[in-house]
Amino acid sequence: MIISMVPRSTREQVEYVCGKIKSFGYAAHPIYGEERVVIGAVGDGKDKDRIISVMESVPGVESVIPILQPFKLVGRELKKQRTVIAFDGFTIGGDQFVVMAGPCSVEFREQLLSTAENVKAAGAKVLRGGAYKPRTSPYDFQGLEEEGLKLLAEARERTGLKIITEIINTENVDLVNEYTDIFQVGARNMQNFALLKRLGKMKKPVLLKRGMMSTLKEFLMSAEYIVSQGNGEVILCERGIRTFETYTRNTLDISAVPALQQLSHLPVMVDPSHGTGKRNLIAPVSRAAVAVGADGLLVEVHPKPEEAFSDGPQSLFPGEFKDLMDGVKKYVAVDGRSL
Ligand code: PEP
Ligand code: MN
C-alpha cells in the first residue's frame, strides 16, 4: 500500500509510521519527494484492510491506498518520478541517451583495449564484455573469468569508460563486484531468484535483461526481487524474445520500451545485437529505440567479428559502430536529448 504523509511531515512521524508498518510484518520503503514523503508498505497482503484502517489514523498520515499491480516497488503507482542512476559524468534514466558497447566476450588484451578505445572515441560511456559466458553449449567458449575482469578493469583505467559485465551465479558476486561498475544479468538468468536477491544486497547498479520467454509482468517481477532487497538501481534491458520468426535471432519487442516505461519508473535500454542477431539490422533498430524513448543501447562491437569467440555475426566493426553513433546522435537531438 502507499502511505502518503502530510506535507512537511517530521522525521519522527516517518520513523513511527515505518515502525508501525514493520510491526505488521510488512517492509517499509520511504521515498522522499520534494513536497512530501511517500512510504511503500509491502507484504503478503494479509490483513490488508485492517492495516489500511489502522495506518489512516496514525499522526502525520494523509492517505493510504492499496497498490494494485503485483510489482509494488518498481511500478509507477508508488513512485511517479523516474529513477535516474548517476555515474560520474553521466546519468541513465534522465535526459541522456547512454550507449554501452564492446565485445560479446572478453577474449584478448589487444581485442578488448582496441575496442575500448574505439567505442570511447565514438561516444560510448560504458564498455561491455563478458568474462563469464552463459553458453548454450558446454563445449563453447565459457569466458576468461577473472582474467577477463582484470582486462576490463585495465580498459577502464586507460579510457575512463565505466564497465559492465555479466554475473551468472551467486558464487561469483563478490569477485565480480571487485571489478565491475554495473552487474549484467543475462536473459537466461532473469529468473535466477537467488542471484537477483543477492544483487539486491549490492551497492551497484544492475542491468537486467528480459528473459527470452518472459512477459513484461514476469520481467518486472524479477526487477522487483532486486529492488525489494534494497538495491533500487535497476536498468531494464529489452533484448528480444523468442517467436516463430527465425530470420532474426530473436524478435525485438520495441513496444516493450514505452510499455515498461509506463508501468515502471526504471530506465529501459535496448540491446539490438541480441535482439536481431544480424549486423545490418543494428543501426535501424537502434534508431527505432531512440524514437520510442529508450534510455540507451547495449551494442556488441568487435575488431574482427569474423574471428569472434561468440556472437560474431551480430557484432559491429568499429567503423560501423562509429556510423551507428553518428546516426543515433541526430535522432537523439531531435528528441531533445543528448548522447
Ligand atoms: C550478452 O550480452 O552477451 C548475452 C549473453 O546476452 P543475453 O543474456 O541477452 O542473451
Ligand atoms: Mn553476446
pLDDT > 90? residue 338: yes
Residue 303 confidence (pLDDT) above 90: yes
Strands, E assignment, 211-286: 234-238, 268-270
What is the overall mean pLDDT for the chain?
97
The answer to whether 300 and 309 are in contact (CB under 8 A) is: no
Which residue has a Cα nearest atom 5 of ligand 1?
186
Q: How far apart are CA 62 and CA 55, in angstroms?
A: 9
Q: Judge whether residue 151 has pLDDT over 90.
A: yes
**Region 132-149 average pLDDT:** 95
Please give the DSSP secondary-structure letter assigned to residue 307.
Answer: G
268 residue type, one letter? V
Residues paired with residue 29 on neighbouring β-strands, in sequence order: 40
333's grid cell: 537531438
Sequence-ordered alpha helix ranges (H) in 4-94 = 11-23, 48-56
The gap from C-alpha 52 to its chain's centroid, in whole angstroms, comes to: 33
- Helix (H), strand (E), coil (C) string for 170-229: HHHHHHHHHHCCEEEECHHHCCCHHHHHHHCCCCCCEEEECCCCCCHHHHHHHHHHHHHC
User: What is the sign of the dihedral through the CA atoms of 102, 283, 245 and 221?
Assistant: positive
**Ligand 1 atom nearest to CA at 130:** 3
Nearest protein Cα to ligand 1, atom 6: 186
Ligand closest to Cα of 305 equals: 2
- pLDDT value, residue 56: 95
Q: Give percent of the chain above pLDDT 70.
A: 100
Largest separation between any pair of C-alpha atoms in the chain: 67
Q: Closest Cα to residue 315, out of 273, 255, 270, 265?
A: 273
Is the pLDDT score of 231 beyond 90?
yes
Give the binding-site residues of ligand 1, using a 6 Å CB cut-off: 104, 130, 186-188, 209, 239, 271, 274
Q: Please, what is the angle between helix 282-291 and helix 318-334, to 10°?
A: 20
